[in-house]
Every structure is written in structure tokens, then in C-alpha cells.
Amino acid sequence: ILWVYSGRRGVHCWVCDSRARKLSNEQRSAIADYFRVYKGGENSLKKVSLTGPVLHPFLARSYTDVLKCFFEDKLLHSQQLFASEERCQKILELIPDENVASELHDKWQGNRRSSISKEDVNAARWEQLKTTLQSGKHKTQGLRRCVEEIVFSYTYPRLDMERCQST
């Protein structure tokens, strides 16, 4: 496997295994689809949809071993995900229940204190979001995976399915 960074198009993985190179486009697509989580387009609000009662073991390991820690320890602060109204709104749009999103929006509007640093705002709002979505009050089928879906949508690699098919 050769990893190549191409700039504008991101990172490419070139598989040099002779068996893999002999796969049909259909077989390559099936393998790529196994790893694909990001399914939304540019104009769709919800880009990640994790279904089923539990995450697939591959996705569960990805989430617990890498994605969750990276999101909370690095990305949340470096990208300032909750530092502006516009960025907060992008995250709130990922919550399928408008009442819950509105409840969080109202909390965040009420907590606008200039003495809170941007890092503290990001951490505090992320904790509020997690607590709200995972509370018994809002623990419905549609919200069960919402925290994980937000983390996946910001951290999980996006596959170019067309590139996965060509030889």
C-alpha cells in the first residue's frame, strides 16, 4: 500500500497487491462501500447515517480508538467548531430533532459570556450537546447515534467511490 498526498484531492491509497489489482470494478466497489460512512452530498444536511442497534465492530473500534479522542482533544479546539453562530448552526443541523436543536441553540444563546475563552466555549458546548442528546429525556431512536454521527462527519475519511473503481 502506497499513501500519496495530492494536495487538492487529498490522500490517495494505491494498492499494489496483485490480487487486489485483478478485482473487477464491482468487487472494488463492494470493498470501498464496506469502509464508506460518509454518504451525503454537498447539499444534504445529514452526511453520515449510522444505522442498527450497535455500530459495526470496525466502526466501533474506529470511533473509540481514534475518532472520538481526535475530535475532542484536537479538532474541537483547533477548528473552533462552536466558536461562532454559523459553526454552531452547522452542527445543530446534524441533529434530526428540531426541538432538541432549538433547545441547544437557546442554551448557547443564553450563555454568551465574553469571559469564557473560545476553548472553554467549544468544550462546554460539546459537553452540553452530548449530555442533551444522551439524556433519558431525548434518548429516542433517531438521536441514539447523533453524537457518533457528528464525530464521524467531521473526522472519518471520505472515499471517492469513482476513483475506487478505476484500475
Note whether residue 165 is domain-resident.
no
On whether the pTM is more than 0.75, the answer is yes
What nine digits make up the cell of 12?
Answer: 490517495
pLDDT digits (tens, 9 = 90+) for 5-35: 887 777 888 888 899 889 998 998 888 888 8
The residue segments making up the domain with residue 26 are: 1-35
Q: What is the pLDDT of residues 53-95, one digit of tens each?
A: 788 898 999 999 999 999 999 999 999 999 899 999 999 999 9
Same domain, 29 and 60: no
Q: What angle do CA 160, 161, 165 make, to 5 degrees?
A: 120
Q: What CA–CA distance (Å, rounded) separates 91 from 93?
A: 5
Q: How many structural domains does the chain have?
A: 2
